[in-house]
Amino acid sequence: MNKKLHAMLEKHCPVLYYRMLQKKRAEYEARFAAMTPEEMRQRDDELYFKHVGKHVNWDDPHAYTEKMQLAKLEDKNPMKAQLADKYAVRKWVADKIGEEYLVPLCGAFDNADDIDFDKLPKSFVIKTNSGSGDAIIVHDKATLSAQDQKIIRAKMNYQMHCNYACGSFEMHYSDIKPKVIVERLIECDEDDLPDYKFICFDGKPYYCWVDMGRYHQHKRNVYDLEWNLQDWNQKDYGNYEGTLEKPKNFEKMIELATVLCQGFHHVRVDFYNVNGTIYFGEMTFTNGSGFEPIIPYEADLKLGELWNLRF
């Protein structure tokens, strides 16, 4: 089925379209569920080689992306599922640093058909609690037609029932109870909303990479905690061409990241910083599933040295 036909079916027959996708997805997930641990390792290694150009040394890993492959399959810490859950993590974050750092929640649903758009604010973000890249940003709900709302509900119901462990082997996502959540849209005075991601090892943040243009022209700058731009990056994002000033309350962000990363050998803690107001974004244990190469490779090894891999 070509892209044009996909778009037409989604627009005019969203429920049927996503039902078709779900059926196809279910067949794929059934094959995934039947895989043995050895088969999972083999397939994961194939994907790692495809994306990073190297095979996984399962017995003695050194690189950051390489160690992530073992962590995905072998680290059974139940906290990973709780904190990767964008809904469940909210209470944990509120208990740790305070609910004032949470993006206001407009609703959480077990079925997207229960969403009443009339009760939502003018602008909002709707997404699943376990997905990645599935967020729908609505700047003005008055622009949504009844068919638009139907499409959103059908898409969210489909996304909610996808097992995001399938295909990437991020096994902890299998333990997340799916929900659709709606949050207020955070808007800032800048043209883009910077996303500050702190890479932490053994309870200590080491680097902050700042994402810009995630939904149109994704760029990334990597800084140390003194706000020195680093000479390495992830995948092919490249540096942001504009000027990124160090946030005035950057040290506060480091302090909050330090609190949230305690007890974990590796985690990424994300924040937004809007006109001086800090909002928690998410906790991520499998950044890019380890399939997005750190360039140059020497930086991958440097990050790997910081990760005391044990479970």
Which whole-number Å values give the CA distances from 137 to 111, 127, 141, 144, 288, in the listed order? 19, 9, 10, 11, 22
> Which residue intervals of the chain bear CATH 3.30.470?
188-284
Q: pTM for this structure?
A: 0.92
Q: Give the mean pLDDT of 19-28.
A: 87
pLDDT exceeds cutoff 70 at 311:
yes
DSSP H or E segment with residue 281 = strand 277-284
By percentage, how much of the chain surpasses pLDDT 90?
A: 76
Angle at 82 between CA 307 and CA 187, to 5 degrees: 90
Considering the domain 188-284 in this protein, what is its CATH number?
3.30.470
Q: What pLDDT does residue 275 have? A: 86
DSSP assignment, residue 229?
A: B
Q: What pLDDT does residue 191 have? A: 57
pLDDT digit string, tens, across residues 150-197: 999 999 999 988 888 988 999 999 999 999 999 999 987 655 688 999
pLDDT exceeds cutoff 90 at 279:
yes
CB 309 within 8 A of CB 70: yes
Residue 214 — pLDDT band, cuts 50, 70, 90?
low
The C-alpha atoms of residue 60 and residue 72 are separated, in whole angstroms, by: 16
Alpha-carbon torsion (55, 61, 67, 72), positive or negative: positive
By percentage, how much of the chain surpasses pLDDT 70?
A: 97
